């Protein structure tokens, strides 16, 4: 499944409140994607570095989404399917951010010859 398929599935169910800040996460991921492509097209390693730094913001938003969905499931287990779909959307957005970060890392490698992939990944 993908985000569009999750949206279709959610549209067929009773409306629920989104338990996390989907708008902030979506905006950040879109910004990362735009910046990573601009960095690639314009061969801009500084911009690529900005993208790489933004990945931790999206990772934190995804962790927050997981915790909030988990809490929402405890409070309303009857909404499990919809909440799992919402959690999947968060995870898909996080993966898009990872791909944008990979582009940024590749731009830095292409321009500076430095592999930063392993230096920047410090996930708990």
What pLDDT does residue 123 have?
Answer: 45
CA dist., res. 23 & res. 121, Å (int)? 25
pLDDT in tens, the chain (124 residues): 699 999 998 999 999 999 999 999 999 999 999 999 999 999 999 999 999 999 999 999 999 999 999 999 999 999 999 999 999 999 999 999 999 999 999 999 999 988 888 665 544 4
Q: Is residue 75 part of a domain?
A: yes
Q: Is residue 19 part of a domain?
A: no
Domain membership of residue 43 as a residue range: 24-113
CATH code, domain with 89 = 1.20.58.220
- Whether the full predicted model's pTM is greater than 0.85, yes or no, is yes
Q: Is residue 14 part of a domain?
A: no
Q: Is residue 43 part of a domain?
A: yes
Q: Is residue 50 part of a domain?
A: yes
Report the domain count for the chain. 1
């Amino acid at each position: 499944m993908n985000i569009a398929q999750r949206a279709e599935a959610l549209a067929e169910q009773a409306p629920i409140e989104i338990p996390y800040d989907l708008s902030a996460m979506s905006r950040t991921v879109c910004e990362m994607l735009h910046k990573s492509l601009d960095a690639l097209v314009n061969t801009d390693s500084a911009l690529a570095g900005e993208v790489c730094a933004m990945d931790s913001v999206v990772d934190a938003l995804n962790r927050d989404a997981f915790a909030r969905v988990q809490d929402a499931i405890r409070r309303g287990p009857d909404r499990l399917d919809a909440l799992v779909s919402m959690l999947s959307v968060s995870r898909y957005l996080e993966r898009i951010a990872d791909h944008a970060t990979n582009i940024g890392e590749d731009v830095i490698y292409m321009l500076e010859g430095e592999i930063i992939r392993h230096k920047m990944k410090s996930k708990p």
